[in-house]
Amino acid sequence: MLGSSPVLANVIDFSSGALSEVGEVLLRRVSDLVLLFGDKAAAEVLAEGDNPVVYQVFLPPEREPGRPEALLYATTVIYPGKVGDEYFMTKGHFHVEGECPEVYLGTAGRGMLLLMDRHGRAEAVPMQAGTVVYVPPETAHRTVNVGDAPFVFFAVWPEKAGHDYQSIAAHGFSHRILEEHGRPVMVSNPDWRQP
Amino acid sequence: MLGSSPVLANVIDFSSGALSEVGEVLLRRVSDLVLLFGDKAAAEVLAEGDNPVVYQVFLPPEREPGRPEALLYATTVIYPGKVGDEYFMTKGHFHVEGECPEVYLGTAGRGMLLLMDRHGRAEAVPMQAGTVVYVPPETAHRTVNVGDAPFVFFAVWPEKAGHDYQSIAAHGFSHRILEEHGRPVMVSNPDWRQP
């Protein structure tokens, strides 16, 4: 039968991001992200202390591994927290196949989706439960938790998109999301250089 | 800026399916679906009476019209109701580009996703808020409201998939979802013939 596979259906817990059928869980602590935060000294202190979990990505067992037409999906939970004034965030990436877009849907908490094109033009899109954002082609994307509770979202993207984390690891984002006077603001990153 | 387009972000009302930024709304009444229900006489009576709305599909303004790598998304709300013993349902379709899958996510109510491969093998997957279903390639899909409240889901699919409603209009599904003793059951459709 069509459904003999255990990965045809899944159940998301909108508030935690947990999946009923999990293939892989990625867990990122501050120590995994030290070089990405603006205040690396503050990141080091956190990493050498409690080294908190910044985010987790829940991936289902892959339905159609390697098939270029396949779609993939995942949930991500970013926990509330900051490194200095910078909110907890994901690494962020371009797609290897840059023409591939992605669709995000917020399910809990308050976040921002930081988008950046190849020229460093950036935008921060506020997200909460019900917000859908279309990640355009050739656009790096990083999510940030700007609230006091876990920020959770669901994402769907083409299998063939791939993840290019290296460009971000090497060059960063042109902008950062910082807390100023209790509110999130997007500020330019003086260390960023166009690749 | 990346976000000068009004269609980068959207907000879904999980309980009604409504979008903050709407491009098109499809509205299907019983009169549009008479030939799809098993009890066509009952459907005719309803169509000539109140002719209730069976479902609505909310589509955002299209972000990247005609680009084959684009993703599309929509919300669908199926209202509670029956034609005879058969629950209110969508028309259902194959994809024109049959290799393209689709991802569904329930956001409210109780439904079933009826899947059927090219040989008529079928499966009914229960859905509620948080249920994700991967619609496999070469698989027709129809959704059914089996509850007492609106059943709402979010779907993401590749632009190039296209919709083949004609196969279903001509041949139907091999199975129907009927209410028996107050519960949904999948029963074979004696009128179905393999194309």
Q: Give residue limits of the domains in chain B.
A: 2-188
At position B182, the amino acid (one-letter code) is: G
> What pLDDT does residue A167 have?
87
Q: How far apart are CA A31 and CA A21, in angstroms?
A: 28
* Nearest CA among A189, A185, A166 for reference residue A177: A185
Among A134, A139, A158, beta carbon nearest to B7: A134
For chain A, give the mean pLDDT.
94
Residue with tokens 């008529």: B120
> Looking at the predicted structure, is the pLDDT value of residue A65 above 90?
no
Q: Is B2-188 a domain of CATH 2.60.120.10?
A: yes
> What pLDDT does residue B5 have?
54
What's the distance, Cα to Cα, between the start and end of chain B in Å? 50
Across A131-152, average pLDDT: 97
Across B37-55, average pLDDT: 98
Q: How far apart are CA A166 and CA A154, in angstroms?
A: 23
A181: alpha, beta or left, given left = phi > 0 and alpha = psi -120 to 50?
Answer: left
Interface residue A13 vs chain B (CB under 8 A) = yes
Of the listed ranges A6-15, A97-106, A147-156, the least confidently predicted one is A6-15
Q: How far apart are CA B171 and CA B54, in angstroms?
A: 21
Instruction: Say which residues have a Cβ less than 8 Å from residue A181's Cβ, sequence separation at least 6.
Output: none
CA-based max dimension of chain B: 57
> Looking at the predicted structure, is the pLDDT value of residue A132 above 90?
yes
State the CATH class of domain A11-188. Answer: mainly beta
> What pLDDT does residue B169 have?
87
> What pLDDT does residue A125 have?
96
The Cα angle at residue B148 between residues B142 and B151, in degrees rounded to 5? 40
> What pLDDT does residue A2 have?
58
Contact A160, A68 (CB under 8 A): yes
> What pLDDT does residue B4 have?
46
Instruction: Suggest the residue from A22, A95, A102, A103 to mutate for an interface test with chain B (most B CBs closer than 10 A).
Output: A103
Summarised one tens digit per residue, pLDDT across range B97-154 is: 989 999 999 999 999 999 999 999 999 999 999 999 999 999 999 999 999 999 999 9
Summarised one tens digit per residue, pLDDT across range B138-182 is: 999 999 999 999 999 999 999 999 999 888 888 899 999 999 999
* Nearest CA among B61, B131, B68 for reference residue B100: B68
Q: How far apart are CA B140 and CA B114, in angstroms?
A: 8
Residue with tokens 């194309």: B195
Please report which confidence band the pLDDT of residue B68 belongs to, taking 50, 70 and 90 as the band edges.
confident
Please report which confidence band the pLDDT of residue A4 belongs to, taking 50, 70 and 90 as the band edges.
very low
List the single residue in A with minimal CA-CA distance to B70: A101
Across A137-165, average pLDDT: 96
Contact B157, B71 (CB under 8 A): yes
Across A61-73, average pLDDT: 88
DSSP-based three-state secondary structure for B32: helix
Across A12-18, average pLDDT: 98
Collect all residues of chain A within an 8 Å Cβ-Cβ radius of residue B63: 101, 134, 136
Q: What share of chain B is helix, strand, coil (3-state, %, to 5)?
A: 15, 45, 40
Inter-chain touch A136–B2, beta carbons under 8 Å: yes
Q: Could you give the percent of chain A with pLDDT greater than 90?
A: 85
Interface residue B18 vs chain A (CB under 8 A) = no
The token duo for B29 is 């009444």
Contact A122, A115 (CB under 8 A): yes
pTM of the predicted model over 0.90: yes
> What pLDDT does residue B7 have?
65
ipTM above 0.90, yes or no: yes
Interface residue B130 vs chain A (CB under 8 A) = yes
Instruction: Suggest the residue from B112, B156, B174, B188 to mutate for an interface test with chain A (most A CBs closer than 10 A).
Output: B156
Instruction: Suggest the residue from A1, A8, A95, A110 to mutate for an interface test with chain B (most B CBs closer than 10 A).
Output: A8
Residue with tokens 């935008």: A123
The token duo for A87 is 């909110």
Inter-chain touch B134–A71, beta carbons under 8 Å: yes
What's the distance, Cα to Cα, between the start and end of chain A in Å? 50
> Looking at the predicted structure, is the pLDDT value of residue A169 above 90?
no
Q: Which residue has the higher pLDDT, B24 or A170?
A: B24
Summarised one tens digit per residue, pLDDT across range A173-190 is: 999 999 999 999 999 999
Inter-chain touch A103–B156, beta carbons under 8 Å: yes
Q: Which residues pair with A77 in a beta bridge?
A: A56, A152
Helices marked H in chain A: 30-33, 40-48, 166-171
Size of interface A-B (CB pairs under 8 A): 133
> Looking at the predicted structure, is the pLDDT value of residue B2 above 70?
no
Interface residue B186 vs chain A (CB under 8 A) = no
Contact B113, B134 (CB under 8 A): no
Instruction: Say which residues have a Cβ less than 8 Å from residue A195's Cβ, sequence separation at least 6.
Output: A167, A170, A171
Cα–chain center distance at A88: 10
> Looking at the predicted structure, is the pLDDT value of residue A5 above 60?
no
Please report which confidence band the pLDDT of residue A64 belongs to, taking 50, 70 and 90 as the band edges.
confident
